[in-house]
Amino acid sequence: MKLLFKKATLVVLIVFLSLGIHWTQRKIDQYHVIRFVDKSPVFLPKGEVLKWMSMGYRGLIADWLWIRTVLYFGRRAMDEDNPYLIYASGRGELEDELESVAQQPVPFDSTNDFALQIRNELSHIWQGSQYQGLIDYIYPMLERVTTVDPHFIFPYVFGGVYILMETGEFDEASALLEKGYQANPHCWEFPFYLGWIYWIYRGNMEKTTAYLSEAVGKEKCPQYVRDLLIGISKDPERSQFTRLYLESLLQSNDNPEIREQLIEILNRLNQSSTEERVY
Amino acid sequence: MRIWAVALNTFKETIRNRVLINILIFAIGLILLTLIIGDWSIYQQAKVIKDFGLSAMSIFGLLIAIFIGIRLMVQELEQKTIYVIASKPINRWEIILGKVLGLSITLMINIVFMSIALWGTELIQEGQIDLGLAPAILLITVEILLIVCFAIFFSSFISSTLSAIFTIVVFTIGHLSGFLRDYIEIYPDKGFHWLLKGIYYIVPNLEILNLKMAVVEHLEQPPHAVLFGLLYGMGYILLLLLLTIIIFSKRDLK
């Protein structure tokens, strides 16, 4: 009887503790979204130090850093629970609201702390939604990933092309691709993407042609890179080919934001007869 | 024959300690990982599976090597069970070789099953297996055996705690050897660089036995990297076994 009581007490205790832990976990999870509002600057050591610290497990550390980067990108740019995305999806309304706050004579006087707080927070959120925290975090993280594992190709392309599309930060993107090219001179991907971003984001046809020519000379370079180079070289003004390329991109893309950007670039291209800069 | 008897006994002892349960943990971990990272890694699933698999293989193996390796000797000495063995018609060097052999068999069985789990996961996820991982697995095995020898070497003359610390220090310095060499080359005028040079040449450069990143990313290797790695590792293993036998033979067991 005594033993049975002891066992029952233990079971009750275990169940009680498990429920308590579960309840606490649920409470903590309620603050889940708030955590991501922070800018989450990179507190990790520099890439060279991480490389030194990872000893024989550089690949593993690079993968871990890479997955952290992807998860951060997902939370900032894609996750439906992401506060930035929620504001970004209602961008027009937020903009109107900010503007109306700015135009109101003195509905909030400068001594009104609450009003100031709301205004500051709104502008903070607006600025955040423009870049979604990508520049402050993703590029430093990618710098670390590629220093720990310089032959991990995809992070270079991710930062050099995908993140560039989100942020328009050309210098960061091209520096990352250049770094990848130096570490992997045999890969055709780097000169191809460098040529591509100089073409689309800078309209610098000399650099584009030079990089694409380098890419074509590499082993395993696919046919479409050669076709692109031939297309650009054949078009004397080079704008006609650019226009055709962008139009085909527009036709094949369903994303309204990217479509909007492409239409804007095409309009600019059509307005200018002697186009040097496409974007 | 007597070596084999000790080896078999050591092997049975490690099995009784449920050492092989880590294979199960490894296999489940690998499957869970592939389920989770599929979306997270953006087209890099194959690389992550290989990196994780090889690293886990190495980490599990090293932990077993260090802790079981040390326990094998220290337990015998502290619990005085070594008297029972030493009183039999068996040489001390045979005891050492038997113990190393027994633990090595356990570790190699571990590695074989973990490799099968890794390739199996690859086959399910990617539809193909990358046999190019084999050289890295071979050198991971050599590294683990080398660490076993260090653990048994230290535990033949110092306490288990100190043996564990020293073995981990050897592992750490072994993987940082490349940085030591670079430091000596970059700052040749530093007064203490003879000390660093000494450490560099005494402690094995474990990066020579590390092909994990190279095989996963199909990087070009220096000619005969695997062969030289094997020779280098085996050389150290034999040297350590010899030193351990000398120390253990001279040890007063009374």
Q: How confident is the model at residue A179 (pLDDT cuts 50, 70, 90)?
A: very high
Encoding tokens for residue A222? 């696919």
Of the residues A50, A60, A152, A154, the best mutation for testing chain B's interface (the one with the most B CB atoms within 10 Å of its CB) is A60
What value does the mean pLDDT take over residues B24-49?
Answer: 77
Which chain B residue has the Cα nearest residue A75? B40
Q: What is the pLDDT of residue A132?
A: 54
Q: How far is CA A269 from CA A180, A195, A250, A266, in A?
A: 31, 19, 14, 5
By the 8 A CB rule, do A196 and A210 touch? no
CB pairs under 8 A between A and B: 58
How many C-beta atoms lie closer than 10 Å to residue A111's C-beta? 7
Asked if A141 contacts A72 with a C-beta cutoff of 8 angstroms, the reply is: yes
Report CA-CA distances (Å) from A17 to A7, A14, A81. 15, 5, 30
What are the chain A neighbours of B179 within 8 Å (beta carbons)? 52
The amino acid occupying position A142 is: L
Chain A interface disruption, residue of B36, B42, B137, most A CBs within 10 A: B42
Q: What is the pLDDT of residues A43-89, one digit of tens each?
A: 788 888 888 888 889 999 999 899 888 888 877 666 544 444 444 45
- CA distance between the termini of chain B: 27
If one compares A279 and B134, the residue with the highest pLDDT of the two is B134
Q: What pLDDT score was predicted for residue B235?
A: 93
Interchain contact, A59 vs B213, CB within 8 Å: yes
Q: Cite the DSSP H helix spans in chain A.
A: 2-29, 32-37, 47-53, 58-73, 83-89, 91-103, 113-131, 134-148, 153-157, 163-167, 170-183, 189-197, 205-216, 223-234, 239-252, 256-271
> Left (φ > 0), alpha (ψ -120 to 50) or beta: where does B158 sit?
beta
Query: Can you give the residue range of the structural domain that contains A23?
Result: 2-30
**Residue among B42, B175, B217 minimizing CB distance to A70:** B42
Query: Regarding predicted confidence, which is higher, A113 or A239?
Result: A239
CA distance B142 to B202: 18
- Split at pLDDT 50, 70, 90, the class of A236 is low
- How many domains are there within chain A? 1
> Residues 6 or more apart from A206 whose CB is under 8 A from it?
none
Please report how the helices A205-216 and A189-197 are oriented relative to each other, as an axis angle in degrees rounded to 10.
160
Distance in Å, alpha carbon of A30 to nearest chain B alpha carbon = 23
By percentage, how much of chain A surpasses pLDDT 70? 65
| pLDDT exceeds cutoff 80 at B62 | yes
With CB atoms and an 8 Å threshold, state whether B41 touches A63: yes
Q: Is residue A14 part of a domain?
A: yes
Residue A157 included in any domain? no
**Summary mean pLDDT of chain B:** 86
pLDDT: which is higher, B81 or B123: B123
Residue A182 belongs to a domain: no
Name the residue facing B44 among A71, A151, A154 (closest C-beta). A154
The average pLDDT across A93-120 equals 45
| Contacts B29 to A, Cβ<8 Å | none
Chain A residue with Cα closest to B210: A56
Rounded CA separation A224/A231 (Å): 10
Q: Do A57 and B58 touch (CB under 8 A)?
A: yes
Tens digits of residue pLDDT in B66-79? 888 888 888 877 77
Is residue A179 one of the residues assigned to a domain?
no
In a domain, A20, yes or no: yes
pLDDT at B144 over 90: yes
DSSP B182: H
Tell me the residue length of chain B. 254
| pLDDT at site A204 | 82
**Does a structural domain hold residue A23?**
yes
pLDDT value at A235 more than 70: no
Residue for token pair 């474990």:
B206
When pLDDT is averaged across residues A176-198 and rounded to a whole number, the result is 93
Q: Quick check: A151 and B179 CB within 8 A?
A: no
Structure confidence at residue A92 as a pLDDT band (50, 70, 90): very low
Q: How far apart are CA A171 and CA B149, in angstroms?
A: 52
Express the helix, strand and coil content of chain B in percent, nearest 5 each.
80, 0, 20
* DSSP label of B99: H
Is ipTM over 0.95?
A: no
pLDDT for A99 equals: 52
pLDDT (0 to 100) of residue A91: 45
Residues 6+ apart with CB under 8 A from A154: A66, B42, B43, B44
A149 domain residue, yes or no: no
Residues of A at the B interface, defined by Cβ within 8 angstroms:
52, 55-60, 62-63, 66-67, 70-71, 74, 149, 151-152, 154, 158
Cross-chain residue pair B42–A60, CB shorter than 8 Å: no
Q: Which tokens is A241 given? A: 């080919």
Asked which of A137-146, A191-200, A263-272 is least confident by mean pLDDT, the reply is A263-272
Kindly state whether residue A135 falls inside one of the protein's structural domains.
no
Whether residue A57 and residue B43 make contact (CB cut-off 8 A), yes or no, is no
Q: Mean of the pLDDT values across residues B80-96?
A: 81
Which of A178-192, B152-166, B171-185 shows the lowest mean pLDDT across its residues? B171-185
Name the phi and psi angles at B106, rounded to 5: -60, -45
Question: How high is the pLDDT of residue B33?
Answer: 76
